[in-house]
């Protein structure tokens, strides 16, 4: 199963002020696509969301790679610490430095639908991808308060979003992907 990553250990403690070192792994999403250097990656593919689940059966298992912060640091304006697996830290890249998205192909990366990588290896990276995608969606979908519509901000103590206007505290929900 997806969450079976033993003997590795998942650490989801929240560190809001953590900064990435050059070895930190970076998750970069564009809608349902993740930036990767998967050995069987075909690059950015336009896949209707309703047919994306068929990818799980069609993509051969192979190794999946995510950019390290040291490779892409000059392109990154904002990031958020997500979690660690066996001390290997993962960060969500939320904004780029500059007016447009970098040309990732120059660095050997391209976007692949996250569902196409479900059976890739190593399993801990696939688990990180799915967990990171869940957090990415939660941050994106809760940028505004559901109670009053105010812009939310990251809480300083909890993995939660807070509304400065009405004080609503939004915790992440768990859902199946």
Are residue 106 and residue 165 in the same domain, yes or no?
no
How many angstroms separate the CA atoms of 104 and 102, rounded? 6
Q: How confident is the model at residue 87 (pLDDT cuts 50, 70, 90)?
A: very high
Share above pLDDT 90 across residues of the chain, in percent, rounded to a whole number? 70
Q: What's the number of domains the chain is made of?
A: 2
Are residue 45 and residue 100 in the same domain, yes or no?
yes
Are residue 135 and residue 94 in the same domain, yes or no?
yes
Are residue 85 and residue 163 in the same domain, yes or no?
no
Inside any domain, residue 1: no
pLDDT of 61 reads: 59
User: How many beta carbons lie within 10 A of that of residue 93, not counting itself?
Assistant: 21
Q: Which residues contact 127 (CB under 8 A, 6 or more apart)?
A: 2, 3, 5, 10, 85
List pLDDT tens digits, range 19-50: 999 999 999 999 999 999 866 555 545 555 55
Are residue 177 and residue 151 in the same domain, yes or no?
yes
Task: Using alpha carbons, list the distances in angstroms from residue 90 to 5, 129, 151.
Answer: 16, 9, 25
Q: What is the pTM of this model?
A: 0.87
Q: How confident is the model at residue 100 (pLDDT cuts 50, 70, 90)?
A: confident
* Tokens 């999403």 sit on residue: 29
Are residue 26 and residue 106 in the same domain, yes or no?
yes
Are residue 20 and residue 70 in the same domain, yes or no?
yes
Inside any domain, residue 103: yes
Q: List the domain range (segments joined by +) for residue 163.
A: 143-177
């Amino acid at each position: 199963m997806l969450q079976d990553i033993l003997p590795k250990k998942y650490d989801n403690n929240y560190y809001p002020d953590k900064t990435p070192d050059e070895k930190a792994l970076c998750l970069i999403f564009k809608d349902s696509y993740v930036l990767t250097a998967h050995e069987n990656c075909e690059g950015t593919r336009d896949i209707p969301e309703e047919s994306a689940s068929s990818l799980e059966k069609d993509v051969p298992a192979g190794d999946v790679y995510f950019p390290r912060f040291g490779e892409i640091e000059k392109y990154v304006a904002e990031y958020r610490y997500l979690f660690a697996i066996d001390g290997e830290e993962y960060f969500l890249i939320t904004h780029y430095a500059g007016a447009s998205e970098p040309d990732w192909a120059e660095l050997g990366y391209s976007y692949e639908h996250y569902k196409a990588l479900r059976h890739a290896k190593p399993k801990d990276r696939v688990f990180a991808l799915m967990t990171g995608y869940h957090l990415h969606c939660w941050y994106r979908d809760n940028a505004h308060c559901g109670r009053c519509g105010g812009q939310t901000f990251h809480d300083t103590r909890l993995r939660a979003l807070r509304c400065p206007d009405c004080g609503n505290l939004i915790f992440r929900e768990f859902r199946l992907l």
